Amino acid sequence: MQITWAYISNYFIYSAMGVFALSFFAHAFETAWAVRTPDQSENTEGSLKTKTLDYTRTERAARIATAMMILGFILLLGGVIARGVSAKHVPWGNMYEFSITGALAFTGAYLAALRKYDLRWLGLFISISVLLTLGTAITLLYRDSAPLVPALKSTWLVIHVIAAIISGGVFLLANVIAGAYLYLEAMESRGERKAWAKRLPDLETLDQLSYRLVAFVFPLWTFAVIAGAIWAESAWGRYWGWDPKETWAFITWVAYAAYLHARVTIGWRGKRAAWLCLFAGSTFLFNYVYVNVWGTGKHTYSGL
């Protein structure tokens, strides 16, 4: 029974990867096909933007891409749930399980933001990074489904980890947008935006969006750290011990606190704020990769 569910989970994950790959190609097709050839653009009315770009003819591809993204999300959700059923606990026992859940949170954050903002231009990037994460997870990090070690048997596992994973997904999305800001800013400072980049939101919108995402999720991250401290008190006999994972969670918290202060109080905008946002996000990634793989301390369980 346990083995069967683990297989089902793997099939879900593989199918999700297939669907994310389709989504990636649809996004790529959409981005490439929207560009008019020079002789077409000469015969077209309107501004330079509508002369060189025509998204009406690729709207179908864009819809397919988003539909695939939603389907991928559902399959991935199925994979994560089946993994949990196979192990009879929430699927957050090792790095493979964190990675598939993290990819789920990242896709979820994108789809949730998509309801409010037209972020489909990001889809190309989102689908490829989810694909890479899942690929790494299933090839390098895969571990057989196993019961939890005693230290992880706690209600706090669910509370602490879900808060951390959702925060991580949103932080990364904010990072991608800050990265896009810097890239487009550099492009604009050299002159006009390239044809494919014309449909992307203006710099002001990107700047605001990455800030909103961080401000929205910062309390959740604070909560994740505090829930971890409460759990550590009952499992390890102290609520804070400067374990490498705790230290880096603290550094991430401090970096985002600095980002919010710099933005709101001192009034940093644009490039400087985007760099600071990228720095804060990279402390989170570093915590995830370095401390899990090479680090020592109390947060390393059962291999990875």
Q: Which residues contact other proteins by CB under 8 A?
A: 144, 146-151, 153-154, 215-216, 218-219, 222-223, 226, 229-231, 233-244, 247-248, 250-251, 254-255, 257-258, 260-266, 283, 291, 295-297, 302
Q: Classify 53 as helix, strand or coil.
A: strand
Nearer to other proteins, 40 or 234 (CB): 234
Query: Helices 123-136 and 2-33: crossing angle, nearest 10°?
Result: 150
Minimum CB distance to other proteins smaller for 48 or for 266: 266
Closest distance of CB 92 from other proteins, Å = 15
Residue 185 backbone dihedrals phi, psi, to 5 degrees: -60, -45
| Shortest distance in whole angstroms from residue 122 CB to other proteins | 23
Residue 178 burial (C-beta neighbours within 10 Å; 0-12, 13-18, 19+) = buried
Nearer to other proteins, 194 or 272 (CB): 272
Shortest CB 249 distance to other proteins, Å = 10
Computed on alpha carbons and rounded to an integer, the radius of gyration of the chain in Å comes to 21
Smallest distance, other proteins to C-beta of residue 233, A: 7
Report the Cα 168 to chain-centroid distance in Å: 7
Supply the minimum distance, in Å, between the C-beta of residue 246 and other proteins.
Answer: 9
Q: Which is nearer to other proteins, 51 or 269 (CB)?
A: 269
| Shortest CB 267 distance to other proteins, Å | 8
What distance in Å separates the CA atoms of residue 165 and residue 227, rounded to the nearest whole number? 13
Minimum CB separation of residue 110 from other proteins in Å reads 22
Which structure tokens are listed for 218?
């910062």
Nearer to other proteins, 203 or 249 (CB): 249
Considering beta carbons, is residue 38 or 150 the nearer one to other proteins? 150
In the complex with other proteins, the residue whose CB is nearer, 37 or 155, is 155
147 — phi, psi (to 5°)?
-70, 165
Identify which of residues 135 and 219 has a Cβ nearer to other proteins in the complex: 219
- Cα dist from 12 to 2, 8, 16, 167, whole Å: 16, 6, 6, 24
We find the least distance from the C-beta atom of residue 269 to other proteins, in angstroms, to be: 12
Tell me how far apart the alpha carbons of residues 304 and 293 are, in angstroms, rounded to a whole number. Answer: 7
CA atoms within 13 A on the CB side of 50: 6
Angle at 207 between CA 205 and CA 211, to 5 degrees: 115
Phi first, then psi: give them for residue 41, nearest 5 degrees: -65, -25
Q: What is the DSSP letter of 202?
A: P
Of 236, 289, 279, whose CA–CA distance to 256 is shortest? Answer: 279
